[in-house]
A and B are shown apart, each in its own frame.
Chain A
Amino acid sequence: MIVATVAALLALPLVVLRRRTLAAYLAVDAATWLFAWLLWRRFPSFDPYLGGVALAVLKVTTFSLFLARGRDVRWSANHAAAVAAIVYAVVIPTTLRTAVIDGDEPFYLLVTESLVHDGDLDLANQYRTLDQSETGRKDLVPQLGDPTGPNGEQYSRHEPFLPLLLVPGYALAGLHGAIATVALFGVLLIRSTVRWMEDEGISEEASRAVFPFFAFAPPVLFYATRIWPEVPAAFFFVEALRGARAHRLKRWLPALFGLVLLKLRFVLVAIGVVATMLAGRRASRRTIALAIAVVAAPLFVMWLVSGSPTSVHTWREILPGEPRRYAIGFFGLLADGMSGIAFRAPFYLLGLFALTQWKATPRGFRAGMLASLLYILYLLPRMEWFGGWAPPLRYLVFLMPVLALGAASVWDRISRGAIALISAWTVGLVIHGIAYPWRLFHISNGENPIGEWLSHAYRADFSRLFPSFIRENSAAWIGAAVVVLIVLAGVRRWKLDLAIPLASLALAAGFSYARQPASHVEFEDAHVVREGGELYPQVYQVMRVAYRGGYVLETGESLSFLAGAGTWRLEAITGLGATFELAGHAYTIAPDERYQAVRVTIPESGRVTLRCLSGAVNLDRMARNE
Chain B
Amino acid sequence: MKHLIDPTDLSLAEIDEILALAEEIIKDRPRFAEVCKGKKLATLFFEPSTRTRLSFEAAMLELGGSVLGFSSADSSSAAKGESVADTARTVEKYADIIAMRHPKEGAPLVASMHVHIPVINAGDGGHNHPTQTLTDLLTIQQTKHRLNNLTVGFCGDLKFGRTVHSLIKQLSLYDNIKFVLISPEELQVPDYIKEEVLIQKNIPFVEVQQMEDVIHDLDILYMTRVQRERFFNEADYIRLKDSYILDLNKLENAREDLKILHPLPRVNEIATEVDDDPRAVYFDQAEYGKFVRMALIMKLLGLDANA
- Co-complex (A, B): no
Give me the interface of B with A, judged by CB distance under 8 Å: none
Give me the interface of A with B, judged by CB distance under 8 Å: none
